[in-house]
Amino acid sequence: MKNITRKDIAEELGVSVSVVSRALNNSGYVKKEKRDKILYAAKKMGYVQNPIAIALQQKRTNQLLFFCDDLTATYYNQMYHGMAREAKKKGYHVLAVMNETDFEMVKSTMADGILFPNETVAEAYASTVGKNYYLPSVTACFDPGHSFSKAMPTVMIDNEDIINTAIDYLISKGHRKIGMTLPFNYGYVDLRYRFWKERMKMEIGEDYKKYVIDVQQNIRESNERMGMPDECSPVVEDFLYSDLFYIGKEIAEYYVKMKYRPTAILCFNDDIAFGTIERLKDLGVHVPQDVSVMGIDGVFTRDKYTPRLTTVNMYPERHGAKCVEILIKVLNEQKYKYVNHFKVSVSEGESVRSIR
């Protein structure tokens, strides 16, 4: 079957190829009646525009790249969904790149801009390929103190705000013995732990140390027995897989052996909280009757567990959508702010009870 060209349409209608091109590209003046005839003929004849040619003509691909190799983590998965939906509304597509270090590929990939899941990945790009290769970029960010080697618009969620929101809520329910989980020693764990420690020292002094749930050593020893990697995010067939539910089980095991048990456990994220609650059930500990459990993220799976999880909701889909909104403003040369603050709030479930 012959590929229909613009020349074929021009010959069919007895007009010039340049007129057909202007009508199909919606660029330049063409009388409405003539434009409608050209568009109708193109559709009837089965003309399909070459996307590469269109991109070259318009200097726009309508494609955005999202560098994130941990889409098994529910938060980033939902963030991507929010990005994809917002982009679709505005005529764009978001392509996920599940290799956070393959920045060289941007030089050979047709895309208008880049989205990053956090400031760490964004800085890795900005300090390498991004130094000399300009492609508009926006990143989600969770550390207001982070500085980039090359300026980049951010959609900011402050980890200090997250921790204080959680502690304020738990205190309002009568909890003062608030435990904090330390599942591993990378990512935002240290940052959230530092903010928790600062706040709890203000609330209960040095007694805060009694309620640290540090399972890092437990996880290392358990992984050694099972022949697993040191961390719980092994690479499986070149893709990162985070087994956060497993970490939650280790937290439950640690909790039942504690000499000084907290009345509420603040988990690093929702996925870990789910694992904690499910393992506590197996151990005969009831949530929230015996201990309250609170998460951080606000992922959709919280509706699938009993009791329904109380969490600090970071609205991952809205977070992703906001990143896309800012990036498209950059691409369209519209006004935008470099730092866009994103608010969190508590989504109540049944996993925290009042002990007042």
pLDDT for res 77: 93
Number of other CB atoms surrounding residue 140 within 10 Å = 27
Q: Are 226 and 243 in contact (CB under 8 A)?
A: no
User: What DSSP character marks residue 289?
Assistant: T
- Over residues 42-76, the pLDDT tens digits come to 888 887 765 444 444 555 688 999 999 878 788 99
- Cα 156 from Cα 253, distance rounded (Å): 34
Q: Tell me what the mean pLDDT of segment 157-165 comes to.
A: 96
**What is the value of pTM for the model shown?**
0.79
- Over residues 33-46, the pLDDT tens digits come to 888 888 888 888 88
- Cα 85 from Cα 325, distance rounded (Å): 11
What is the set of domains in the chain, with CATH numbers? 6-49 (1.10.260), 63-157+317-345 (3.40.50.2300), 160-313 (3.40.50.2300)
Average model confidence (pLDDT) across the chain: 87
